[in-house]
């Protein structure tokens, strides 16, 4: 594993961040003594929202006709 001193890490920070993001870990040392290990962050999982209740609820077959008579009565009045 590659090791960089603090001065080099400060002057080449952007390049070292790109290196870590590409999957390469490295160590930053102070006066030759290893201080920290820099590792890439694993990508966060995205949550799939569409269909997340699939199989957990049941929609009645007459869903599109539920309350039909009440709606007609509300708008047209009693027949």
Res 52: pLDDT: 79
Res 78: pLDDT: 67
CA 13 and chain centroid, separation: 26
Res 54: pLDDT: 83
Res 79: pLDDT: 57
How many Cβ atoms from other residues are within 10 Å of residue 36's Cβ? 12
Res 27: pLDDT: 96
Walk along the chain (79 residues) in steps of 10 and give the mean pLDDT of each run: 95 94 94 94 76 85 89 82
């Amino acid at each position: 594993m590659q090791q960089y001193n603090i001065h080099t890490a400060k002057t080449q920070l952007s390049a070292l961040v790109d290196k870590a993001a590409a999957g390469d870990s490295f160590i930053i040392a102070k006066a030759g003594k290893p201080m920290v290990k820099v590792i890439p962050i694993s990508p966060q999982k995205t949550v799939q929202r569409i269909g997340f209740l699939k199989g957990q609820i049941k929609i009645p077959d007459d869903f599109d006709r539920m309350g039909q008579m009440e709606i007609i009565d509300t708008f047209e009045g009693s027949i």
